[in-house]
Amino acid sequence: MTIASSVKQCLANMKGIEAQLSSLYLNSLDPEAKGLFHESMLTISSVKKDLQNRVLELERHEPQYKS
């Protein structure tokens, strides 16, 4: 597996985590838990953005792995 594809896989996992956190945020009743889920979701989405940029860079460097 190339680096580009493993980073992409990690990015996909990130997206999944973000979606699950947002569903937990919507479904939880306890305000404290709600706040924490929301905060974590924002952190994850910033990490996700960084990864996305990295994927674009990798694709520029190694066009042969572009999918």
Partner 1 sequence: MPDWIDTVIRSFIFLAALFFMTKILGKKQISELSFFEYISGITIGSIAGEAITGLENSIIQGLLSIAIFILITLLVDYLALKSKTVRNLVDGRGTVLIKDGKVLEENLKKEKYTIDELSALLRQKDIYRVADVEFAVLEPRGTLSALLKKEHRPITPKDLQLKVPNEKEPQTIIMDGQVVDEALRSAGKSRGWLHTELAKLDLTLDNVFIGQVDSYGELSVDIYDDKMQVPSPAQRPLLLATLKKTQADLEIFSLETQDEVSKAMYKKNAKLMQETIDKLTPYLTS
Handedness of CA 5, 2, 54, 16 (dihedral sign): positive
Within 8 A by CB and 6+ apart from 39, the residues are: none
Site for partner 1 in 29-58 (CB under 8 A): 29-30, 32-33, 36-37, 39-40, 43-44, 46-47, 50-51, 54, 57
Q: Tokens 């910033």 correspond to what residue?
A: 46
Phi, psi of 2 (to 5 degrees): -80, 165
3 binds partner 1, rule: CB under 8 A: yes
Question: Which spans of this chain sit near partner 1 (rule: CB under 8 A)?
Answer: 3, 6-7, 9-10, 13-14, 16-17, 20-21, 24, 26-30, 32-33, 36-37, 39-40, 43-44, 46-47, 50-51, 54, 57
